[in-house]
Amino acid sequence: MKNTSKKPSNSLLLSELQTIAEGLGQTFAPFCEVVVHDLSHPKNAIYFIENNLSGRSVGQSVTELGLARIQDPDYPAVIPNYANQFADGRQVKSTSIGIKNEDGEYVAALCLNVDLTLFNSFQAALTQFSQVQSKDVHETLDASNSDRIRDQVDAFAAARATTARALKPAERKQLVQELKKAGYLDIRRGMEIAAAHMGVSRATVYSYVR
C-alpha cells in the first residue's frame, strides 16, 4: 500500500520504516495495525499501512498528534499506550513514535494501533467466570487445613513482631504446644505443615510436642 503518487525527500528513511512496520504488523497480526506517517507531507501523510484495521488509506492527511509534532520539535518522541478508537467505535491502545531528521525536525512517525475488542471480551469472560456466589457459605477442600495451620503460626509470630522462621527455640516450643492443644497437630500432616512453615524439621516439632 505504498504511496507512489509522490517522491518523498526522505524516501530512504520511509522505506526503512515501512520494513519495520511490515515486521511488527505481521508479528502482532491480527490485533495490531502499524502505520508509517510522512510528516513532511501533512495533507497526505499516511505513507504505508500494515494490517489495516482502521479502514484508512495511503495518502490520507496527518492526525492531530502528527500536527503537534510538526509544529513542535520538542514534542515527546514516544507517546506510549494512549487510549484511542477506530471510526466504528472499537477501543484501541496506541503508541506513536516520532522520527527526526539531522536538523532535529520531525519528518516521520511510526504508529501502532492495537484493537482491544478481543482482549476486552476475554477480560469480561474471565471476570464472569471467576465470580463466586453464596458468600455466606464457608467450605475448604483442603483436607489438611494447611492454610489454617499456617495462619495460626503467622498470627503467633506477628504477635511477637517477628516471622515464623525467625522465632526463637523457646517461642517455637510454645507455639507447638498451642497448636497441639488446639488440635492442629492431630490433622493429617499437621506436624509437617507447621514444621515447613517455621523452617524446621518434623523431628524438631515432634520433640516440642513431647
**Centroid of chain to Cα 108:** 29
pLDDT at 143: 56
User: Residue 154 sits in which domain range?
Assistant: 146-209
22 and 98 in a common domain: yes
130 within domain boundaries:
no
5 within domain boundaries:
no
Where residue 170 falls (left for φ over 0; alpha for ψ -120 to 50; beta otherwise) is alpha
Where residue 183 falls (left for φ over 0; alpha for ψ -120 to 50; beta otherwise) is left
Counts for the chain of helices (H) and strands (E), in that order: 7, 5
Does an H or E element contain 70, and which? helix 64-71
199 within domain boundaries:
yes
Does an H or E element contain 111, and which? strand 106-115
Instruction: Supply 64's cell numbers.
Output: 492531530
Query: Which residue's entry shows cell 507447621?
Result: 194
54 and 151 in a common domain: no
- Here the CATH number for the domain that contains residue 98 is 3.30.450.20
Q: How far apart are CA 184 and CA 96, in angstroms?
A: 59
68 and 27 in a common domain: yes
What one-letter code names the amino acid at 20? I
Q: How far apart are CA 134 and CA 137, in angstroms?
A: 6
110 and 67 in a common domain: yes
Instruction: Supply 167's cell numbers.
Output: 522465632
Q: How far apart are CA 165 and CA 153, in angstroms?
A: 10
pLDDT at 188: 83
Spell out the per-residue pLDDT of the chain, length 210, in tens.
544 444 446 899 999 999 999 999 999 999 999 999 999 999 999 999 999 999 999 999 999 999 999 999 999 999 999 999 999 999 999 999 999 999 999 999 999 999 999 898 888 888 888 887 766 765 555 655 788 899 999 999 999 999 999 999 999 999 999 999 988 888 888 899 999 999 999 899 989 988
Number of domains comprising the chain:
2
Q: How many CA atoms lie within 13 A of 71 on its CB side?
A: 7
3 within domain boundaries:
no
pLDDT at 8: 44
Residue 179 near residue 190 (C-beta atoms within 8 A): yes
pLDDT at 5: 42
85 and 20 in a common domain: yes
20 and 103 in a common domain: yes
132 within domain boundaries:
no
Q: How far apart are CA 29 and CA 7, in angstroms?
A: 29
pLDDT at 140: 56
For strands 78-85 and 32-38, give the pairing. unpaired
165 and 101 in a common domain: no
pLDDT at 7: 42
- pTM for the full predicted model: 0.61
15 and 113 in a common domain: yes
Residue 46 near residue 60 (C-beta atoms within 8 A): yes
Instruction: Supply 152's cell numbers.
Output: 495460626
152 and 113 in a common domain: no
160 and 89 in a common domain: no
pLDDT at 187: 84
